[in-house]
Chain A
Amino acid sequence: MRNYVAVVFDDRSKAYEGLHALWQLDNAGDVTVHGTAVVHRDDWGHFQVDTKETHPALATAIGVGIGALLGALAGPAGATVGAAGGAAIGAATGGVVGVAADLSRSDTRGQAAIETRFVLGHGQSAVIADVSEDWTTPIDTRMHALGGTVYRRAMSDLQDDAWFDAYDPSPYLYPYEHIPSSYPLW
């Protein structure tokens, strides 16, 4: 079954351990990972998606696409809110905290809406993934062991949502394990 998964961790280094574990599960053949991204929310409530340096227009698209997905994983009502707030999600190139291409478009109403509806609290980080899994146990077990909380929705459900065509997040997920060099873990 094809699912979108968000695994929320209390800190960013754990999120990268989670990302690594997810790709290890793929390598072992337990699941197939099609794409991943790591999102952080700082103590002030700002969101960042870790990306490589890309064109500013692409950074905006990443923010909107990932924002919509984050909202959708919180529940059907969250997608539109997430898309609106997505413009306020910056692409932190190379993991440099504070570099956010779209923060100038930050919108207080959108931020507040995300704050009340979405599962990613201040100071938390999440691994977002597009996966094929025959059963949910491998990801659930591994992520719980790392202290992560797993949210999951079927891709077919999300494709039925009105927002999906406009904000399909798949193109903005890295199709391999991308850990910015500023996050040495091992």
Chain B
Amino acid sequence: MSANTEVKDALDGVRAAAQELHGAISDAAAKRGGAMKTDLEAVSHKAKAITVSVKGSIGAQHDAAKKHLEEAVAHLEATQKHAAAGVKSSGHSLQNSINQVLADARASVQQISEAIAARRSAKSTHTRK
């Protein structure tokens, strides 16, 4: 396996995990009370694991992709924070938390996708030279 393939797999892997996280949160948003809180608790753990994976893949990227991945980390940490807050809240506060968690998770996937786009574009430019 080449170094390029390893980098591609690592980034694609974290994007798939972040996409799955967003899917789980949007499913949780349709639930109520205790069921939603149980899901939020799991979301917090998943977000933490993805954060570790993203941090682990930053070093192998070029500058443009690194910047997006660092922002993704910030959004994933916010996802954890808001999910943890949601577990302890109820009513409107819980609803606000889940909306925030959804927005944070969405932003993290966005940043990882942008890192992938930056990497693909750089590779494409390099190939054309």
Contact = CB atoms under 8 A, between A and B. Distances in A.
B120 interface: yes
A32 B113 contact: yes
Given A58-B99, A175-B110, A175-B113, A132 B121 contact: yes
A53 B113 CA distance: 24
A43 B29 CA distance: 31
Contacts of A29: 120
Interface residues of A, number: 20
Interface string A47-60: 00000111101100
B23 A176 contact: yes
B30 A53 contact: yes
A175 B95 contact: no
Contacts of A2: 117
Nearest to B118: A132
A55 B36 CA distance: 13
B2 interface: no
Nearest to A33: B113
B27 interface: yes
Contact of B27 (A52, A55, A58, A171): A52
Interface string B20-62: 1011001101100000000000000000000000000000000
A73 to B, nearest CB: 20
Given A52-B26, A52-B27, A176-B20, 15 more contacts: A2-B117, A32-B120, A33-B113, A34-B110, A34-B114, A35-B110, A52-B30, A53-B29, A55-B98, A55-B99, A132-B114, A132-B120, A134-B121, A175-B113, A178-B23
16 contacts: A2-B117, A32-B116, A33-B113, A34-B110, A52-B27, A52-B30, A54-B26, A54-B29, A58-B99, A132-B113, A134-B121, A171-B103, A174-B22, A175-B110, A175-B113, A176-B22
Interface of A: 2, 29, 32-35, 52-55, 57-58, 132, 134, 170-171, 174-176, 178
Interface of B: 18-20, 22-23, 26-27, 29-30, 95, 98-99, 103, 106, 109-110, 113-114, 116-117, 120-121, 124
